[in-house]
Structure 1
Amino acid sequence: MAIKDNLNNILEEIEEARKHSITNEEVKLITVTKTRTIEEIEEVINCGILDIGENKVQELKDKINLLNNSAINYHMIGNLQTNKVKYIYDKVYLIQSLDRLSLLKEINKKAKTDNIFVNCLVEVNIADEEQKGGVLYSQVEQFIEDCLDYENVKIKGLMTVAPNIDDEVFLRDCFRRMFKLKEKIERKNYNEVEMKYLSMGMSGDFKIAIEEGSNMVRIGTRIFGNRN
């Protein structure tokens, strides 16, 4: 199937899942463009999807230059090394993978120098998987409080990458815990923290995520097909 057809199917599935969502919020689709060509990405943009997610800094840099389109919102969704912050901090709509103090400090330092604000999501390691990045679930509230000291970083919500498994009951529980955590942080009414986005759900599990309160999904394979 063509990218346009795949995209239309995804948008229909998102709307269908929203009917069963605990919030019925609008859901923002982030197109994950890892390893995809500029021609493929432009096809998505021509369909009106202007939020692009990238896992690697170098690929993100290259695509920003090649696409040369100021209407696009770029999202850094992969692990971000502290020494690579300088390449993207002022070019992205959201850094979705803020997960440690050293990264927080570096983003804040760069943003302060330029007198700008950088919007971030705190990445949560919802299933305590050793091989994954993300703040441990039990430590998220403390990490959010640490963020309050760095005024050029604006926390806009939470993100998680759920385990890559077929156990729907387990996945649903993960997403449910994320939603409850978002609500709990929201109730604390921190001046500088906004729980605007709950970014969870990918090609294999986005419908469950939406039903459990996600308002931002990150989808690549279902749009472009399997990577070569």
Structure 2
Amino acid sequence: MMMARLAASAVVAAGILATVGAAPTAASTITMTNYSFAAGSQNVTIIEPSGAIGAVKAGMFKLTTTAGDWYAFCADIFNVIKKPTTYQLGPLQAAGDSTPGQPPVDYPLTLGQQKQIHWLAEQATLELQNATLTSAKSAAYQVAIWDVAYGAAFTRTINANTQSALTGIVAALGAADLSSYWVPLGLTPLANGQGLVKGQTLVVGVPVPEPASLALLTAGLLGLAAARRARASAFRRA
């Protein structure tokens, strides 16, 4: 993800729901209040598309939001991140808009691109959880997401460490089975009164603490155990 010139021109985060095969949920509204690099960053120079020229820092972000903490990667190399910013949470349909401060002109994403971005964000999240996500890998996952999102329109220069990590990530992506992946979830800044975008489009990942998911998982396991006990009791009575 990108944080270009950290407070001024930072192109940042886009995250992805890291649950394989999960269909998008209904849209809701959340507010991001803070962000930081989750595993360090590496320098990247964005050359094209026009409007995104400049030196930035790339890497996975941790977002602090009103819905908890989320991992995130950038899917918008044109606009700056702002905090606090209120977003609509919903399916990621397009990469970032090329007309900052004006009505958006997006890069629509195909289902294939959406699945690839989903896979990349999930792998990075797993690596972070397994303590194998270095700053070079973190930056490489971000660059891979930009490569997928913007295709041939995206030109950049990266250092040797990031390139080495990127080569391995791209090879793994090419061999991955994406059939069970679905459209990732994104954060789209709510428009102001003039209909203009207020900040950068993000894609959100798995919440760091995941209290809601943990509660659902616990309830599911308890329900499964109760069902097994009921079946065993019925079998004994028979």
TM-score range normalised by the length of the shorter chain: under 0.3
- Structure 1 or 2: more strand by fraction: 2
- Structure 1 or 2: more helix by fraction: 1
The TM-score, its normalising length taken from structure 1, stands at 0.25
